[in-house]
Amino acid sequence: MDHCILLQLLYRKVKCPFTLRLIRKWSRAPILIKGKLTKRRKGVPQGSPLSPLLSNIMLHELDKELEKRQLRYVRYADDFSIYTKSNQAARKVGNQIYLFLQDKLKLPINREKSGIRKPVQFGILGYKFVPTYKKGDKGRYQLVVSDKSWKNLKEKLKAATRKTSPMSFDERIYKLKEIQQGWINYFRMASLSGKLKELDSWLRNRLRYCIWTDWKKPERKRKNLIRLGIDPDHAYAWSRTRMGGWAVAQSPIMVTTITLKRLAKRGYQSMLDYYLKVSPSVNEPPYTRPVRTVV
């Protein structure tokens, strides 16, 4: 990032000389290379909240250029993609934008990460594209969540439902709601129904596993099973089972006692139900036109 261009853009809105001087000194803070402090001629220090803000200020010029050319694009900080209808148009736009960034904003482009790709070979901000697989919809795509984002979600849910975590059941439910609602609100534009149904089933078994572990002793398990409507003979036999906790959570012992209705009374809400409530287009996923992507 060229410091002179950055300060010129800032001066259009910020007239305070003290603020500009402070930003200039911060942007020129020396960098440690092989144990020696080296003067910084370009770029800004990373890890500060100011860094993405300055990045947005610089690339706002790119936004205006793309809107002037009436191009469809998505940008988040320094990560952006442009969408065109054909490979030829993508090459033309890619060259023009490359020259704009190089000549006007003095910004380098990472050629390894940049290129022209089909939608199925591309992802941005946790989203990716897949064909619709519907008859008569050739060349159309729908938004889905990337595999990495699904993996991160599952790890967070697993941490919140770990049996050794020192939390009450109500605290677990509260933590799960925070994770679920935040994640679904972000990815509500994608098609999620199928995977959420599987994830909900797995999550309910995790909660049953936590409940079974909290009961601890066989006698307490027997009494709780009787309270939940199991006859004394079955309650005694099930409380003395030699199956592991995870196997019990998926067996009739817990599935028929800790039902979805009982979980809902304690505040549990399935991810699928919440997704159906907030999704802007449930019955008809948001499709894109046939595109080539310049990234």
- CA nearest 188: which of 286, 75, 269? 286
Collect all residues with Cβ–Cβ distance below 8 Å to 128 and sequence separation of at least 6. 120, 122, 143, 144, 145, 146
Model confidence pTM above 0.95: no
Place of tokens 């099973």: 225
The neighbour count for residue 209, using CB atoms within 10 Å, is: 22
State the residue for tokens 């591309």.
122
- Cβ neighbours around 62 below 10 Å, total: 20
Report how far apart, in Å, the C-alpha atoms of 3 and of each of 17, 27, 31, 42 are.
16, 7, 15, 6
Q: Is 208 within 8 Å of 254 (Cβ atoms)?
A: yes
**One pLDDT digit (tens) per residue for the chain, 295 residues:** 777 888 888 888 888 888 888 888 877 778 777 778 777 777 777 777 778 888 888 888 888 988 998 888 888 877 888 888 888 888 888 888 888 888 888 888 777 777 788 777 778 888 888 887 766 667 677 888 989 999 999 999 999 999 888 889 999 999 999 999 999 999 988 888 889 999 999 999 999 999 999 998 999 999 999 999 889 998 999 899 888 889 999 988 888 899 999 999 999 999 999 999 888 765 444 444 444 454 4
Nearest to 207 by CA among 247, 163, 146, 270: 163
Instruction: Please answer whether residues 235 and 225 qualify as being in contact, where contact means their C-beta atoms are separated by less than 8 angstroms.
Output: yes
